[in-house]
Structure 1
Amino acid sequence: MKNNKGLRSNVFVSITAILLGIVASFLLIALTGISPLKAFGVLLSGAFGTSGRVSPFLITLGQSTPLILTGLAAMYGFRVGVFCIAQEGQYVFGAVMAAWLGVQLHLPPYIEVPCIFIASIAAGGLYGLIPGLLKVKLGVNEIISSIMLNNIATLALEYLVAFPLRSDAGQKAQSAVLDQALWLPQFVKGSRWGVSFVIAITLVFLSYIYIWKTPGGYEMRMVGKAPLFAKYGGIKSDRVVLRTMFIGGGIAGLAGCMEILGNYHRIMTGFSSGLGFDGLSVAMLGGSHPFGVLLVAILLAGIRQGAQLGLQINLKIPRELGGVLIALIIFFVATENIYRPMVERIYDKVFNFFHRLKKNSIGNEESVK
């Protein structure tokens, strides 16, 4: 019961942070002379509307796919108490592996696609092991090592695309387009919503099962929440950290792979677009819970989509406002200690009110019987 209460309280705090971010953003909109309520309506319709040739909501779901996966990747690190921010590098190497194998292998698609998936997961997972090894073996701060690894991945991407993987002498360096038989299908053309999204949702449920229903997940939670208890309970913490970092890195590598096979169908300079860092935001706002990651990823993708399709096109408000809104939400999450006590008091009063209401209702039913 206590754990459920803590979970509900965290959800309530996250909702409060989102609402505060929205309020602050619309105060900025009000300074431009545009009605915040109108802007909010336009933002929602641009993010979750169903009209048009391609539904904005389906586009939002498609754009949420890499956010879900990079959010899950960051979540695994948080679960073992490792604040790893190397998802960007893992994502990049997963994408590079997919683009390279997609050109080099000449196998039947039903064999080649799984091979590309496995190779991209392995590439991301091995890259995820590096900050884990540096932390548990040498005590290197994972934030510093992650930043360096992300820079290395970005530079490696620029070199590989400009030289070994380059397909032509065009102005922009890019690899050859993959054979269409390797492309992951989209359910609605132009929406990016397709098989990749189904795989991401599947991983959300598998992550939930792994974390809360398996011995490996129990070890992971104990290492993250009670390291001393885990140590004296015989759990080999270093092994658990490394295993978890490999899993998280593999998921980030898979995100890069599915962006290549399901969306871009080639890799180019500038491919690294900050999705790995966005995954950190998703994991933080989602409370390091798989279902929280899913909901927040869709929300953040919707905010960006609504800012571009709604605010910029219809109201001439720069789409960068979407980024400002996300930044404000993260700011209020980071400063939650300021308002958490007040939010928890309100939550307790609301929860106790409905609990008493339910109890009285049950009592009345029993008296009638």
Structure 2
Amino acid sequence: MPEAATTSSASTRSRLSGTLTEAATTLIAIVLAFAVGAVLMIVSDPAVIGQYAYLFTAPQLPLGASWAKVSGAYAALFAGSLGGLGPLTETTAQAAPLICAGLGVAIAFRAGLFNIGAQGQAIVGSIVAAWVGFSITGVWYLSLLLAIVGGILAGAVWGGLAGWLKARFGAHEVIVTIMLNYIAAGLLAWLLTTTAFQRPGRTDPIAPVIDWFATMPRIEGTRLHLGFILALIAAAACWWLLDRSTLGYAIRAVGANPNAAATGGISVPRVIIAAMAIAGGLAGLAGAQAALGPAAGGTAVPLTAGLVGSIGFDAITVALLGRSRPLGVVLAGLLFGALKAGGLAMQSVAQTPLTLTIVLQALIVLFVAAPALVRKIAPFLRRRPVRAPAGPAQGGALS
């Protein structure tokens, strides 16, 4: 018993040490990304670079210009994402679909699957949610419930199809989901030319206005709406699924070693289909939020070819940054939501290109994906083995 307790304690300390190291690595990766972003801002501004001609004669000129450029841009980014109720709710609105789609990618990752199809799953989710939203009108909250459920089911079918093709025929999920992305985008483009999806009196590809009762309830005058609450509920459900349910155990087992899982009596094909269907349902929820969430003016954005944007692809970076853990995905989604919300303010106030926020996202993921590089820069992050106290086998005294 003492040996078992000692081993368990050492294992707990090792897991805690690993979690803290991962958190520190992620934090330093974010700091490094912002530092590289600062350098890019300086070298891309001719006015600031021109001041470096006086680096050795009047160093305060280039250093002051550099500081003014970087501090002004990041202050605008902070103000546009966290500086008040309006920016905060804008951040939550941008983060909500990223969290949902990121959870979908993370669930697939935990099953050992690379779900690149979150984009297509979000698109079909937005199609069904929008169709329900402008077809079922005047029904108090029933239309919203049906639209959300429809979006989730559409995404689940789209993701489950990829899982079934892999489980039944061995088709690689990366190739299948990429092709399904193209099919979903083409399907949306075609539907917007049909009578059922085209706004009356218009010939351009734009859908009818979604019924007010089918839009996400929101706090008046803000962008905080039901979608963000649903994203947090989805994250909590994913945590319970992965850590507290039998299916979650099977997903983690298949992701760790499918052969060993099959030997242990787990049906690997069923787990693959289930994991991809759940992942697709979460991405479909993200698409439903894009279709039913309020725009800056308070009304829903009509269904168009570019409604979903790049939510599905951004979700991959969110899942990677969150290390495929629900809490990590929520925090990563909020970070990327803040970058999206503050990017416009940074562009208008500090005259910094909006594309810099995309560069920051890429740099963050780059550093997170290269922990060895981060640990090389920060030697204190190098993990040390947790040693258990010496027991009888190591020469310790018997009690």
After TM superposition, the score normalised by the length of structure 2 is 0.81
Partner of 1:212: 243
2:108 matches 1:46: no
Residues 218 and 26 of structure 1: CA distance in aligned 2, closer, same or farther (over 3 Å): same
Letter of the structure 1 residue corresponding to residue 353 of structure 2? P
Give CA-to-partner distance per residue, 1:141-179, whole Å, 9 cap, x none. Answer: 211111111111111111111223001353642111122
Spell out, residue by residue over 1:199-256, the C-alpha distance to the aligned partner (whole angstroms, 9 max, x if none).
1111111111111111111111111123233222111111111111111101111111
Partner of 2:32: 20
SS at match of 2:348: helix
Give the gaps of 5 or more residues in structure 2: 1-11, 49-65, 295-299, 387-399
1:173 aligns with 2:205: yes
Give the counterpart letter for 2:198 in structure 1.
Answer: R
Determine if the alignment matches structure 1 residue 275 to structure 2 residue 311: yes
| Secondary structure, aligned partner of 2:210 | coil
| Cα root mean square deviation, aligned | 2.1
Count residues in correspondence.
Answer: 346
Residue matched to 2:52: none
**Percent identity over paired residues:** 30
Aligned to 1:184: 216
Deviation digits for residues 299-342 of structure 1 (CA, Å, limit 9, x no counterpart): 11111222211x21111111111111111112223333444466
> Secondary structure at 2:236's aligned position in 1?
helix
Match of 2:61 in 1: none
Distance 2:159 2:305 in 1: 22
CA contact (8 A) 2:375 2:381 kept: no
- Deviations along 1:54-80, one digit per CA (max 9) or x if unpaired, are 521221111111111111111111010
Measure the CA separation in 2 of the matches of 1:240 and 1:9. 31
What is the rounded CA distance, in whole Å, between the counterparts of 1:196 and 1:271 in structure 2? 16
For structure 1, list consecutive stretches of 5 or more residues without a partner in the other structure. 353-369
Between structure 1 and structure 2, the one with the greater Rg is 2
Cα deviation digits, residues 115-165 of structure 1 (max 9, x gap) = 222221111001001221222222222111111111111111111112230
Contact 2:118/2:283 (<8 A) preserved:
yes
On the 8 A contact 1:17/1:333 being kept in 2, the answer is: yes
Pairing 1:330–2:365 present: yes
Q: Which residue of 2 aligns with 1:148?
A: 179
Quote the Cα distance in structure 2 between the aligned partners of 1:341 and 1:23: 17
Question: Which of 298, 321, 332 is the equivalent residue of 1:285?
Answer: 321
Counterpart residue identity of residue 246, structure 1: A
In structure 2, relative to structure 1, the CA distance for the partners of 1:80 and 1:195 (3 Å cut) is same
Separation in structure 2 between the aligned mates of residue 192 and residue 209 of structure 1, nearest angstrom: 28
Which segments of structure 1 move beyond 6 Å, counting only runs of 4 or more?
A: none
**1:162–1:269 Cα contact (<8 Å) kept:** no
Scaled by the length of structure 1, the TM-score of the pair is 0.88
Secondary structure at the residue paired with 1:109? coil
Task: Note if contact 2:290-2:307 (Cα within 8 Å) is conserved in structure 1.
Answer: no
Judging by fraction of residues, say which structure has more helix: 1
- Equivalent of residue 164 in structure 2, options 133, 136, 154: 133
Residue number in structure 2 paired with 1:162: 193
Please give the per-residue CA displacement for 1:24-56, whole angstroms capped at 9, x wherever unaligned.
Answer: 111111222242233222222222111xxx521
